[in-house]
Every structure is written in C-alpha cells, then in structure tokens.
Homo-oligomer: A and B are copies of this chain.
C-alpha cells in the first residue's frame, strides 16, 4: 500500500496511539489502514462406493501452482458465510452438486496471512466438470491420491486427516474438527 484509499495522500508506516504494531497510516486524513488475514474456504467432496471414499480433486488452471491438484477452495467473499463460500467454490471449480456437511479442518498459513477452512461434502451425483479455474476434475480413491502433485500443504494435511478419520469410522468413530498450523511451504519436487 502506497497511497491512502480515502484521500490519495501517500501513507506512512507508524504505530498509532494505543497500538503496538506498525500500520499504514495517512498523515493527511488520519485513516489507519489495517491489514488482516484472509480466509480461504473449500470442501472435501466425497463419493462413496461400497463404503469406500473417493474424493474429488481439481487441477488448477491458474497460478500459483498451475497444473497441481487441489480440493475446490477459494477466497471467502464479504457477502457470504463460510459454508456458503465452501459450497460456491465447489460449484465454481468442480461443477459439482453437493450436500455440504460439517466443518472438518481449520489450518493457519501464517506465512501468507491466510486461514484455510475445509468442510465435508457429499457428492449427489457424478455430473461434475471443470470450471474456469480448473483444467480437470477427477475422483480419487485413497491409494490413487497424487500426493506428490498436490497444490498446497493445507490440501495435503486435510486429505491426510480425512483418510485417517475414515479409518476410524470403520471402528465406530466419527469425523473430527481438526485445527492446526502449516509452518513450511509445499515442497516443490525437483525436475
């Protein structure tokens, strides 16, 4: 941020009275421009065959991580709830028809000032297709998940937690709500 969005004067970095952090402050109109983390919200669309879960993944048609696999997810908008954001992204990126379930994971990605949320979702049919931000949409059983070609660490962690919970379901457990922090960037495989 270089200029005040209220009066167009150049902003400066200073600690406002009663605060303890550097902020972009406008010396002309006094506006303090706070910057806060953004929420990225998506779903884990599940199709069950004989009690075995398949999960819908999309390849990204946009940067960052063009061509890598992801769960459908994107930035939450001002005019929606977290559940609405998860459902919207699933339609936009995977063209999928779902019944949204419970919150499953909340993962901090402090390094990029984001919090990622994933909801469980039940696929209602197999009529899905890539949206404008996806190249391909495909169902994967656990043993077929392209672990080395996943786009983001939150997708990897959420899938790991999901299949761990599925194993517990077989022993009478239930899905948990998982929270955690991502502290390292995704390893980029060497060419």
Contacts and interface: CB of A to CB of B under 8 A. Distances in A.
A110 B132 contact: no
A56 interface: no
Interface in A1-46: 1-8, 10-11, 18, 21, 33-39
Interface stretch (A64-72, A74-82, A164-172): A74-82
B80 A110 contact: yes
Interface stretch (A100-108, A121-129, A140-148, A155-163): A100-108
Interface residues of A, number: 39
A179 B39 contact: no
Nearest to A79: B110
A143 to B, nearest CB: 30
Interface in A163-190: 177, 179, 181
Most buried by B among A1, A10, A115, A181: A115
11 contacts: A1-B5, A1-B6, A3-B4, A8-B10, A18-B132, A36-B78, A37-B78, A76-B115, A78-B113, A81-B110, A103-B106
Q: Which 9 A-B pairs have the closest CB atoms?
A: A81-B108, A177-B177, A3-B8, A8-B8, A78-B113, A1-B5, A36-B38, A5-B5, A103-B179
